[in-house]
A = this chain, B = another copy of it.
């Protein structure tokens, strides 16, 4: 997938059967942040309703029963992922219909659509593409250090843990920067980010030796087209399982500034509860210390996911406390505005 795969006028149908919106993170991410046009959501449990009936912050898109009921489209995108990441056979008729109607099909599943004999044959027959975004390109290699040479200023979202909002924060900062007229771009590193952006390398699936190289390859591809690039971070530098991916992104992206993302109240690594999160200032020292020998970079701001806090005042207090621990501006860019954080970022780069 290259940076120009999706045109902004591409019409996309998003499959989210039985899971919209709470358990359809990719579907809601695509609805909220992608530049292409989502023309329908497939959810057989909510057919006849509209996305906004379920979540007010999404664009209004009709939810229909099946691909046969969807309007004309260019692409079907699988917007949910069952545990294990396998294809669910109840989706087979929708994928078949999509291919027969001439749609490309995009998925981020563990099991590749392109390895499914029926779909591969049907796709060849109808001249459409099956795009498995978890499948890394075959031509990746080791980093050369070229990330330092791109024209754009690079901002990387880093985190205290997985699932603290690194992709969302990058996309919110992108939107806020563009709103100010900044020529800003987004570099995805995970499957949802890739589906939203319509291009990108799935960094967690590449050969470990190529981790930094796969990030560098994207920077080199788009780094001269923008003034500022927001790079989606992954994991955490002290995650017992995923720190390799985090470290490779840090050194491959060679950021000029970092935004530290955290989730309010999180005290231990998600799913690894015997590992406590270190204090916030220790994260700042670790990320800055590790970045510096390759490319000097400071944590210039923070983003706190306050979605678990009901009361706005309490959320604002949590953000203030987080800013204090960081000794830098902070916000929850989904709940509040991103201005002070964006100021800090743009001032630094």
**Alpha-carbon separation in the docked complex, A262 to B145 (Å):** 22
List CB contacts (< 8 Å) of A201-225 with chain B. 203-213
Question: Which residue of the partner chain, among B241, B274, B289, contacts A285 with CB atoms under 8 Å?
Answer: B289
Question: Which residue of the partner chain, among B212, B242, B276, B286, contacts A290 with CB atoms under 8 Å?
Answer: B286
A19 sits at the interface (CB 8 A) = no
Max chain B Cβ within 10 angstroms of own Cβ: one of A143, A243, A246: A243
Contact A272 B208 (CB under 8 A): no
**Alpha-carbon separation in the docked complex, A247 to B286 (Å):** 13
A17 sits at the interface (CB 8 A) = no
Q: How many residues of A contact B (CB 8 A)?
A: 43
Binds B, one of A6-14, A96-104, A175-183, A232-240: A232-240
CB neighbours (8 Å) of A243 from chain B are: 212, 247-248, 250-251, 290, 294
**Alpha-carbon separation in the docked complex, A249 to B241 (Å):** 10
Knowing A145-B240, A289-B289 are in contact, say whether A208-B248 is a contact too (CB < 8 A): yes
Contact A241 B206 (CB under 8 A): no
Contact B207 A242 (CB under 8 A): no
Closest Cβ neighbor of A250 among chain B residues: B243
**Alpha-carbon separation in the docked complex, A245 to B277 (Å):** 22
List CB contacts (< 8 Å) of A280-323 with chain B. 282, 285-286, 289-290, 292-294
Contact A244 B241 (CB under 8 A): no
Contact B282 A293 (CB under 8 A): yes
A144 sits at the interface (CB 8 A) = yes
Knowing A142-B241, A248-B208 are in contact, say whether A293-B278 is a contact too (CB < 8 A): yes
Closest Cβ neighbor of A244 among chain B residues: B248
A275 sits at the interface (CB 8 A) = yes
CB neighbours (8 Å) of A237 from chain B are: 247, 290
Closest Cβ neighbor of A291 among chain B residues: B238
Which 8 A-B pairs rank lowest in CB-CB distance, beginning with the nearest?
A: A244-B248, A211-B244, A247-B247, A238-B293, A143-B241, A204-B209, A244-B244, A142-B241
- Residues of A participating in the B interface, judged by any CB pair closer than 8 Å: 142-145, 203-213, 237-248, 250-251, 272, 274-278, 282, 285-286, 289-290, 292-294
